[in-house]
A and B are shown apart, each in its own frame.
Chain A
């Protein structure tokens, strides 16, 4: 079971570090990361394995959203199923 963590906002030092530190804290295994900085807009999409997540996914979503607010970024945690059902027949 996987989830997608997307981070969008103004680039700054340590975004990747802070998001992945939180993943580690709750036992979400990062399996793939794509990131780009266009002008100074930072966009990162992270695929994480949530099979052994230590808290409910809804709670991780809340925590990430709070982390995003404290960094002035938007962080969305979404179960991979929403993308699979929407974009694949």
Chain B
């Protein structure tokens, strides 16, 4: 039976506390589009994406209206393009342009999968794809790129770290006219996942079915608001409140995912148990941590609060869905979180603290603007540090930093919309160059003797 207070609670969550479905992402395999002729391969890619995803946006909007819940993004992820382009032996930028055109044709705002997986070394097509990322992201507006440079099972490809340090810089340089926005569409992963619905790191893994629907939920505002009604609760109660709220949020994700999959005739994959903030007021993960009891995010205690938040979200969410996957955890993208932006500006939140926080949550150093004179090797060092946290802790970590070409710390980059604006944060200026230039592979870690 429906209960009036439940109905009003749901409406309040959606209208006042920014509850929404962050994304419905359709994963599409492009393995059957491989062709040694790049133009023929691109034509197949275009046809496959536009035929599989032709109804994605319409169905998303229909569900949005019927259930009265906003679905912010409808997106597409595809097989890592390096696998598809390997057969062509020429610059894969044409694939990026094709993905961009296909995304525009079906009306999605971002398409992920301009990617390479090089955790243990480069195979045919990988280097060409990585070298082409700056041009591909400058020439397109919807394409997102990611590169996996390490994993718990393989260790870390240090040559790839070094290469990506330079590529991140070059991508920012190639898009300097749009506040270096290209680098905001490029993620460097350790332990990347095949079924991630979130951009910019989404790609469709080779072990996935031909086509699938994954859903990412949101709702930091709802969690904060639930906690604000229980001032003085002890920490066990705080965890229980987060679990209950996460359950409700995630149930909506499950409902939307199942409904979308039925209507599109595509199997339902996973719900990503995420707390994804937006720059909107009242939609911040930092504000949840402050509600738990920190003066500002970055204060001593931040990592502990984030750890309990992240764990409680998963415990509540797991029971709400048939299948869980993706990145699953609280996100801490600085430029997309009003609270984090304020805390970075005030100096409370530093890159070093953010790095510690990534050991206990999803997903990494995310949407952080760094000074324009940060060297490629320093960025490679940041990538190696973050990958090491992921490798040792058997979790996904990532780096999405934006070198603010021509700007220094204290200034700001502003992209607007969901990507928000980012205060440029200080980076330690000591050089890791000798380490980075040693090259080779950091071996896979021991899985016992865990301390």
Contact = CB atoms under 8 A, between A and B. Distances in A.
B70 to A, nearest CB: 12
Interface of A: 4, 6, 8, 34, 43, 45, 47, 56-58, 61-62, 74, 76-87, 89
Contact of A82 (B3, B8, B252, B319): B252
B185 interface: no
Contacts of A77: 68
B254 A85 contact: yes
Given A47-B2, A82-B68, A84-B2, A4 B7 contact: yes
A88 B2 CA distance: 9
Contacts of A74: 15
Interface residues of B, number: 23
A61 B66 CA distance: 7
A85 B68 contact: no
Contacts of A45: 4, 7-8
B429 interface: no
Contacts of A76: 11, 68
Contact of A85 (B8, B15, B61, B252): B252
Nearest to A62: B65
B421 interface: no
Contacts of A86: 6, 10, 248, 251-252
Closest 8 pairs between A and B when the two form their complex, measured CB to CB = A78-B68, A58-B65, A87-B6, A82-B67, A61-B65, A85-B251, A85-B255, A57-B66
Given A76-B68, A86-B10, 14 more contacts: A45-B8, A47-B2, A58-B62, A77-B68, A78-B11, A78-B69, A81-B67, A83-B2, A84-B2, A85-B252, A86-B6, A87-B6, A87-B10, A87-B248
Contacts of A61: 65-66, 68
